[in-house]
Amino acid sequence: MAGGFVSQTPGVRNYNYKLTPKVFVTCFIGAFGGLIFGYDLGISGGVTQMEPFLEEFFPYVYKKMKNAHENEYCRFDSQLLTLFTSSLYLAALVSSLFASTITRVFGRKWSMFLGGFTFFIGSAFNGFAQNIAMLLIGRILLGFGVGFANQSVPVYLSEMAPPNLRGAFNNGFQVAIIFGIVVATIINYFTAQLKGNIGWRISLGLACVPAMMIMIGALILPDTPNSLIERGFTEDAKKMLQSIRGTSEVDEEFQDLIDASEESKQVKHPWKNIMLPRYRPQLIMTCFIPFFQQLTGINVITFYAPVLFQTLGFGSKASLLSAMVTGIIELLCTFVSVFTVDRFGRRVLFLQGGIQMLISQIAIGVMIGVKFGTVGTGNIGKTDANLIVALICIYVAGFAWSWGPLGWLVPSEISPLEIRSAAQAINVAVNMFFTFLVAQLFLTMLCHMKFGLFFFFAVFVFIMTIFIYLMLPETKNVPIEEMNRVWKAHWFWGRFIPDEAVGVSAAEMQQKSV
């Protein structure tokens, strides 16, 4: 797969490269960082509906669940129970801010290693937990691991991948997340059938496996040329670039990396500089894309799929099985994005996925409203239950090839080197904050908003789809250090980008594209 690429953005350079085994293997291993996030997303929802776990740590919720026949919407409503799930994401928010400095000073791979290490310690606390305090300490340590991994892995993948395949390789992170969710759901399905406390302990303790995978992977991975240049290892960076591009003719791309690094060295305070008008497009996107990603409502499905299905009248075993099915569908549909994102572009997938999610969410809300009304009582037949599961699968599929992978890809590829670590830290922090908020409030919102909760998320899906249509330019096939040209050509963002940031002619500046 040699050669350059065709870009629709004026003035963007074409580089020479091949798809080498080295870049494929490094990106494959690097994507392991998504496993820890995915495993936790999948495991926590299943564990919180296991009766021995609830009886051990949340006896109030256990009794309420057993006697909640009068209101299905409120049977799991407990702030302490949701704190078990959501505390991780608050910790991830805090750690992602520190991770940006470590990623910039020591390199991407060591930030990944530290993420795996703290996640490993957290899994031990949770697997051997004897009280709520140990559970919460374990969750906080897991959160530190997720924060470091989510901050460094997408940047690592974007910097290693060739420009025309950056979307596919970066989406490997989302594939790893969904694979972790599926594996966790399968484990929950079998451990839930074990007697006593051994089941939930196995589920929580096995989080050490993906943690070890990312630690070992980080030790054997090379650092990116961008990071090596940033830290002063110029000769090593050129050799690495030649190695991953499969050609010795990398002078043009290498010079662009050098220029970007020299410019980044002029920025002493990236957290202050990212507030400057010239970085306004990146700042807005790294805030709004993760914000909207969580307001799709996907984590309602991911965190609490077993709880949600049980609320809809499924038995405990059937709930876990249904959650497993939706997870497998999400994994398969994520590959749609892997194989199409660099062909059709980011905008097409964002827009199509948004429309699909909007329609399915409205349909789910209508069906649940008809069956349970506002009082939360009633029965749901097998046919209707299966139809709701099908609609949830359609919704999950739309997310899996749009906002799921692209919510990580786009923020990681749009920022220049001088603010890249800070921008990715903001992306992760905003993502984790709203993940925490949704996780903490969902069961309460379900109890009070009832079926209207699905309409609530549908409104945000509509807003975010309009936002993407108007405000996000197409970034496919554009080298990561050439991204300013895309913003300069945009009808709205172009006014913020100074001419010297792109170095193209005035005639080219007149060629606008959305």
SS3 readout for 238-285: HHHHHHHHCCCCCHHHHHHHHHHHHHHHCCCCHHHHCCCHHHHHHHHH
Number of folded domains that form the chain: 1
* Long-range contact pairs involving 52-57 (C-beta distance under 8 Å, separation at least 24): 52/196, 52/197, 52/199, 52/200, 53/197, 53/199, 53/200, 54/81, 56/197, 57/84, 57/129, 57/131, 57/132, 57/135
Longest CA pairwise span in the chain (Å): 73
CA distance 471 to 315: 44
Residue pLDDT, tens place only, 340-349? 999 999 999 9
Would residue 514 count as lying in a domain?
A: no
- Considering only residues 441 and 341, tell me which one the structure prediction assigns the higher pLDDT: 341
Band the pLDDT of 193: cuts 50, 70, 90.
Answer: confident
Q: Domain for residue 163, yes or no?
A: yes
5 occurs within a structural domain: no
Q: For residue 215, is it within any domain?
A: yes
Give me the pLDDT at residue 5, please: 36
pTM: 0.79
CATH number of the domain that residue 150 is part of: 1.20.1250.20
> Which amino acid, residue 218?
A
Residue 419 belongs to some domain of the structure: yes
Q: Tokens 């172009």 map to which residue? A: 494
3 domain residue, yes or no = no
Mean pLDDT of the region 237-266: 84
Asked whether the predicted pLDDT for residue 379 surpasses 70, the reply is no
* Domain extent for 448: 21-498
The residues near 54 (Cβ < 8 Å, ≥ 6 apart) are 48, 61, 62, 65, 81
- CB 173, CB 428: distance < 8 Å: no
Q: Select the more confidently predicted residue: 315 or 422.
A: 422
pLDDT-based confidence at residue 1 (cuts at 50, 70, 90): very low
Residue 8 has pLDDT above 80, yes or no: no
* 3-class secondary-structure state, position 92: helix
The answer to whether position 1 is within a domain reads no
